Amino acid sequence: MTLRLPGPEGSLLSRIFEALKRAQLSLNSPKPEPVAEQSDRRRSKRWSAHVPLFVYGHPTGRQPFYEEAYSTNVSALGARLIMMATVQPGQTLLLVNNVSQAEQECRVAYVGGRDPQTVEVAVEFSQPVEDFWSITAKPKPAPSPESSSDSERQRSR
């Protein structure tokens, strides 16, 4: 099976293979602690944003993968992605923004079921990255669970 890769193949391929090597090395190091659930107090502002991405990863004991995915909300510290590949918390991924071709390594913080074909994957960056998402218009804040129930109550009146 041949993978079609974006951009100039030589430079992107070498960066991808370097990221996969780092991911493989991290699998051999001690496992990171699971990320504890946080309250609604966030370290960084989140925005609803549908950003198309290429996601590269190398699961333990399996072949490296590549897939096209997208974000549902983003922040300077990470995002929530919709993916089809099976990933595990603690796994390292390489994200490539389809619009800007910016690359960012991240760690899977949470994996949750969505439907039979896709999963929600929360990823986090090691450091805040303000410009990875290339959002040009002022984004709308991601809805909180409380605000969506408040708006439903207002509509029912």
CB 101 within 8 A of CB 7: yes
Q: What is the pLDDT of residue 68?
A: 97
* Length of the chain, in residues: 157
DSSP 103-146: EEEEEEEEEEE-SSS-EEEEEE-SS--SSTT---SPPPBPPPHH
pLDDT at 130: 82
Element (H, E) at 124: strand 119-124
- CA neighbor of 15 nearest in space, from 87, 117, 96: 96
Q: Which residue in the block uniquely carries the two structure tokens 């193949």?
A: 9
CB of 91 within 8 A of CB of 97? no
Rounded Cα distance between 135 and 146, Å, is 25
**Contact 108/89 with Cβ under 8 angstroms?**
yes
* Distance (Å, whole) CA 119 – CA 1: 24
pTM, rounded to two decimals: 0.61
Q: Which SS3 state, helix, strand or coil, does residue 80 take?
A: strand
Q: Tens-digit pLDDT profile for the chain (157 aa)?
A: 444 455 555 566 677 777 777 766 665 555 444 444 545 566 667 878 899 999 999 887 888 999 999 999 999 999 999 999 989 999 999 999 999 999 999 999 999 987 889 999 999 999 998 889 987 655 556 665 555 445 444 444 5
CATH 2.40.10.220 fits domain 9-31+44-156: yes
Separation of alpha carbons 29 and 91, rounded Å? 12
